């Protein structure tokens, strides 16, 4: 694990944003490290109110002490990007949430552009988008959205914030929740681990794939399912079924 020092991750915290959104929303461009922290905290607090320092440190792959220093800096800047109380966790301020959603919009539009326009596979787009999300302008973002037809989800089924940074954060059902006889359509996969995505492609468990549950093992939680484009039944453990989200068919 790469425990970067606080100096390494806070170097060059602010620089000037190269353009403004057409909606007249503008802000100082943060460093990639600051934007990554805001994105990580947004994801960690999607289903609960606050994130702990240790959770943030694990997500960012830094030492807890380094995460604490960064959190204090972000809570102390003007306007503050975080609300932080010792031993009570961290949550985003409205300003921090807005920046996090903007970075997420960049990232997910980039993933979609890389797949649909440049021909990347869904297991290749995440690291490329991670690098590019910090440097594109708002004009570039909007041109991508126009070329792509203003998509609502990325190649992994994650919702893309709209141009006003509104996004549905409700989670669909997990594949692991289904039982024999249930039919469903795959609508999202996360996290975006390369080996997992490649394996899912091999067995046909991709976005819009239709599945029917054939058997469930209460002993180990394994599911046996039929995937419409795969003639052979597949048995999957919870390491996979708890990362695949579905819409159940009536």
- Residue-wise pLDDT for 100-119, tens only, equals 999 999 999 999 999 999 99
- CATH class of domain segment(s) 1-169: mainly alpha
Q: What percent of the chain has pLDDT over 70?
A: 89
Instruction: Answer whether residue 36 shows pLDDT above 70.
Output: yes
At residue 28 the predicted structure's pLDDT band, cuts being 50, 70 and 90, is low
Fold assignment, 173-248:
SH3 type barrels. (2.30.30)
Outline which parts of the chain fall under CATH 1.10.10.10. Answer: 1-169
CA distances from 199 to 88, 143, 157, 196 (A): 39, 33, 17, 5
pLDDT at residue 10 tops 50: no
Q: Model confidence at 168, in pLDDT bands (50, 70, 90)?
A: confident
DSSP-derived secondary structure letter, 176:
G
pLDDT band at 122 (very low <50, low <70, confident <90, very high): very high
Strand-pair category, 183-189 with 234-236: unpaired
Which residues, 6+ apart, have CB-to-CB distance to 173 below 8 Å?
Answer: 184, 245, 246, 247, 248
Rounded average pLDDT over 68-97: 94
pLDDT average, residue stretch 31-57: 94
The pLDDT value recorded for residue 186 is: 97
Question: Average pLDDT in the 64-76 region?
Answer: 96
SS3 212: strand
pLDDT reading at 225 higher than 60: yes
The 8-class DSSP code of residue 169 comes to -
Residue range(s) in the chain whose domain bears CATH number 2.30.30.90? 173-248
What mean pLDDT value characterizes the chain?
Answer: 88
pLDDT over 80 (residue 99): yes
pLDDT of residue 80: 96
């Amino acid at each position: 694990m790469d425990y970067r020092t606080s100096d390494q991750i806070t170097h060059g915290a602010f620089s000037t944003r190269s353009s403004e959104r057409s909606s007249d929303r503008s802000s100082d461009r943060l460093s990639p490290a600051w934007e990554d922290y805001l994105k990580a905290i947004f994801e960690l607090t999607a289903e609960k109110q606050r994130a702990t320092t240790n959770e943030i440190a694990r997500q960012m792959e830094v030492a807890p002490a380094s995460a604490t220093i960064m959190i204090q800096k972000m809570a102390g800047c003007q306007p503050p990007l975080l609300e932080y109380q010792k031993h009570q966790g961290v949550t985003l301020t409205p300003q921090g949430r807005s920046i996090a959603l903007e970075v997420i919009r960049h990232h997910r539009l980039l993933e979609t552009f890389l797949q649909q326009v440049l021909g990347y596979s869904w297991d290749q787009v995440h690291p490329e988008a991670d690098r590019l999300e910090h440097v594109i302008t708002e004009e570039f973002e909007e041109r991508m959205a126009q070329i792509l037809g203003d998509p609502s989800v990325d190649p992994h089924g994650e919702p893309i914030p709209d141009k006003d940074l509104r996004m549905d954060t409700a989670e669909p059902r997990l594949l692991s929740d289904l039982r024999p006889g249930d039919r469903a359509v795959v609508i999202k996969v996360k996290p975006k681990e390369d080996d997992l995505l490649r394996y899912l492609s091999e067995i046909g468990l991709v976005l819009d794939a239709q599945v029917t549950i054939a058997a469930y093992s209460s002993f180990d939680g394994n599911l046996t399912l039929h995937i419409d484009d795969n003639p052979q039944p597949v048995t999957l453990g919870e390491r996979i079924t708890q990362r695949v989200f579905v819409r159940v068919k009536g």
